[in-house]
Amino acid sequence: MKYAFFPGCVSRGACPELMQSLTAVADHIGMELELMETASCTGAGVISERNRKLADALNARNFALAEQTGLPLMNICSTCQGVMSGVNERLKAQPAYLAEINEMLADEGLSYSGKAEPRNFMWVLVEDFGLDNLRSMVKRPLGELNVAPFYGCYISRPTDVLGYQDFPERGRYLEMIIEACGATPVDYSGKKCCGFPIITMNRTNSLTMAGNHVGEAQEKGADFMVTPCPLCHLNLDAQQPDAARVVSTPLNLPILHLSQLIGMALGIDDKDLGLNRHVVSTNPVRERVHALPMA
């Protein structure tokens, strides 16, 4: 189980605990990662509003770099996944356009065949590694803990671009992983928007969205929230104190990355999961988890 690993920007920027925990979990479950160091940002749906062709070319270059390794491409960010899937569909549907972009990549010795299938860690974990394998490796079932799944928009919609026809359960993977870790998923609106994309443009709207979702999860009994998207994490965790003020609701809900949830269930040490690098303290979760018996 080896992958061309596309880390994205935020796991090497404002969410270093994502990279840390993902690496720890991958090591633990025997997943080999070949870091795509020379890959660029996907454009995050922002560069496409400056110039769509530019965003397409950047992603084609990343796909070509992955193809050079001969390994399947794995990312760790919902937004990267959505952008990659969207661009890939455009490139596959227009061979002449792909050929034009390939000409621009030729100087670097790159060419994209149009056959890459970029997949998020969450998808890889369920589809390649398997939930049975995960269950068998769980050392500390997270019983009694209620976990609110928060997907992120880019990995939820549009479903036809994200391969939901072939994998109809992709919209339930977070719940399935939470259950495999022994915890209970909370039923709430976890597929809506965290508000991050407009945080610098309309701060009130952005924080209202974040505050509403955290508030709803909290009200429905969540002990913490889990997300496969580091951008959602920034709005839900780092902005949570401001979001609480905007929605006039006391909020104090720890937000974990998917790899941190899995890491806790696998019994990986807290310090290797970066659980101290959060704005909303994860201490209450850690205390509850440490009180649970090892299987």
Return the residue of 26, 47, 64, 232 that touches other proteins, per CB under 8 A: 47
Q: What angle do CA 145, 150, 152 make, to 5 degrees?
A: 165
Site map (CB under 8 A) of other proteins, residues 120-159, x = contact:
---------------------------------xx-xxxx
Do the beta carbons of residue 83 and residue 59 sit within 8 Å? yes
Please, what is the minimum distance in Å from the beta carbon of residue 43 to other proteins? Answer: 7
- Look up residue 106 and give its amino acid: A
What is the Cβ-side half-sphere exposure of residue 289, based on CA atoms within 13 angstroms? Answer: 29
Ramachandran bin of 101, using left for φ above 0, alpha for ψ from -120 to 50, beta for the remaining angles:
alpha
Of 140 and 257, the one with the shorter C-beta distance to other proteins is 257
Return the residue of 4, 21, 26, 43 that touches other proteins, per CB under 8 A: 43
Tokens of 99: 């050929």
- Count of positions on this chain that bind other proteins (CB under 8 A): 63
Return the residue of 53, 139, 220, 290 that touches other proteins, per CB under 8 A: 53
Do the beta carbons of residue 43 and residue 83 sit within 8 Å? yes
Q: Which stretch binds other proteins (CB under 8 A): 118-126, 177-185, 189-197, 253-261?
A: 189-197
> Based on the number of CB atoms within 10 Å of its own CB, is 141 exposed (0-12), middle (13-18) or buried (19 or more)?
middle
Residue with tokens 């009200």: 219
Return the residue of 85, 111, 120, 206 that touches other proteins, per CB under 8 A: 206
Q: Pick from 131, 108, 133: which is nearest to 57 by CA?
A: 108
Site map (CB under 8 A) of other proteins, residues 67-106, x = contact:
---------------x-----------------x---xx-
* Other beta carbons less than 10 A from residue 119's beta carbon: 22
Please, what is the minimum distance in Å from the beta carbon of residue 153 to other proteins? Answer: 4
Return the residue of 29, 137, 198, 292 that touches other proteins, per CB under 8 A: 198
Please report whether residue 45 would count as binding other proteins according to CB under 8 A: yes
Q: Which stretch binds other proteins (CB under 8 A): 119-127, 134-142, 193-201, 283-291?
A: 193-201
Do the beta carbons of residue 50 and residue 43 sit within 8 Å? no
Tokens of 91: 């490139």
Q: Which stretch binds other proteins (CB under 8 A): 4-12, 66-74, 216-224, 253-261?
A: 4-12
Query: Residue 167's beta-bridge partner residues?
Result: none
Return the residue of 150, 278, 285, 289 that touches other proteins, per CB under 8 A: 278
Return the residue of 96, 107, 166, 287 that touches other proteins, per CB under 8 A: 107
Tokens of 149: 């799944």
Alpha carbon 237 to its chain's center: 15
Please report whether residue 1 would count as binding other proteins according to CB under 8 A: no
**178 — phi, psi (to 5°)?**
-60, -45
Which residues of this protein are in contact with other proteins, per CB under 8 A? Answer: 9-10, 12-17, 37-41, 43-54, 57-58, 61, 82, 100, 104-105, 107-108, 153-154, 156-159, 192-193, 195, 197-198, 200-206, 208-209, 212, 238-239, 241-242, 276-279
